[in-house]
Structure 1
């Protein structure tokens, strides 16, 4: 053991699991047609995701377990939840089966992006747009979906999916 208690080592994971909890709530609220609440829960997931890293750095703790847990939770909160929300709010009515494929592509690109992130261990920048940004942006757009043309949503979803798996260097902010 490193001299730190197990409880201190697990504190960042509480925030990570909070991220997952709000992502799960977003999916449930989407299923119930409460789209603004669902988008709000995704944004709460963004907050939780930003806190786990800050807390880990403040406590000087990190682990492979925490890194993997974070990625698994991120796939749900910023991949599945915004894809399901966007599909239910707009893509189902306007695109049918093609909307399913587009939403699935967003989730799959997010998963690939996170897997790549976990094995590369790049600390100076992100390679590709982070899934947290992509999912958070989709949630924000959904909050204003009645004010925007529906065609923006599949275009933005496709662009974000591509950017997540791209090799564009994105600076890390707020460390």
Structure 2
């Protein structure tokens, strides 16, 4: 029995890469899209909770959305379920979860006390996240990619930006009551994070295939990861605040490392021979 809904064609109606078109498709092709939809639901729910003054849950939902949005592509590649449809869904989810949701949660929590200045800061961040993601999508279409593209991001990646921009909220949860001066300072900080997103700052990604870990350091690193997760569960806001500050402190070192290896940044980011090339988020 036919339904009134169009058939699900992950790579478009003319795609024959997966063989003959059948009435059924493998369930694994849908799993990444389900995760993306759940990420959007989490981000939008975080906005609702913020308007209901349930700020801790709101931030938790935004961070959950960022986590789900960060793993859907990896799961798609693991299941060999990548598709054009999934890529488009992921792009739409990114702007909600890394741009709109953090900006609105931050605005409702503290930036509204700066009035128009706070709203302008929230707008700038949301638009910067959209520009960052659009630039990534355009650059990803380049056929020729630099050999070091997996080693560095171009500008702070959107998921990290969402984590960083919520720092004033983490600090607020630690006891610093929102006030007009604090809102102004948070607005300036928000704009600064927005500029980091759209900047051409080389940011170390940690994805380099050449990265190696000494055998005698594997177990200590595993223990440090366990320690970090344990502190995140027990001292959530303190750990997130320290993480955000620590990430910001590493940015100059990443840029310095890039400059030592590859020299100055090229002048024209649209140049097809640009050294700054696509990165994966």
Name the TM-score, length of structure 1 as normaliser: 0.87
Structure 2 residue 199 is matched with structure 1 residue 166: yes
Query: Which of 59, 65, 69 is matched with 1:49 structurally?
Result: 69
Query: Which of 122, 126, 129 is matched with 2:153 structurally?
Result: 126
Query: Which of 109, 113, 116 is matched with 1:97 structurally?
Result: 116
Indicate the structure with greater helix content.
Answer: 1
The aligned residue for residue 28 of structure 1 is 48
The unaligned stretches of length 5 or more in structure 2 are 1-15, 20-24, 209-281
Q: C-alpha displacement at 1:117, in angstroms?
A: 0.5
The answer to whether the 8 Å contact 2:117/2:187 transfers is no
Structure with the greater relative contact order (CA < 8 A, sep ≥ 6): 1 or 2? Answer: 1
The answer to whether the 8 Å contact 1:13/1:52 transfers is yes
- Between stretches 140-149 and 128-137, larger displacement belongs to 140-149
Q: 1-side partners of 2:64 and 2:185: how far apart?
A: 24
The answer to whether the 8 Å contact 1:67/1:118 transfers is no
The aligned residue for residue 102 of structure 2 is 82
Query: Which of 18, 23, 26 is matched with 1:3 structurally?
Result: 18
Structure 2 residue 188 is matched with structure 1 residue 155: yes
Q: 2-side partners of 1:9 and 1:126: how far apart?
A: 28
Q: 2-side partners of 1:119 and 1:129: how far apart?
A: 17
Structure 2 residue 159 is matched with structure 1 residue 144: no
Q: C-alpha displacement at 1:10, in angstroms?
A: 2.5
The unaligned stretches of length 5 or more in structure 1 are none
The answer to whether the 8 Å contact 1:42/1:136 transfers is no
RMSD, matched Cα: 2.2
Q: 2-side partners of 1:53 and 1:135: how far apart?
A: 18
Q: 2-side partners of 1:141 and 1:74: how far apart?
A: 22
Q: SS of the counterpart of 1:144?
A: helix
Which whole-Å deviations, capped at 9, do the CAs of 1:2-40 have from their partners, x for residues lacking one?
438453223211111111111000110011111111100
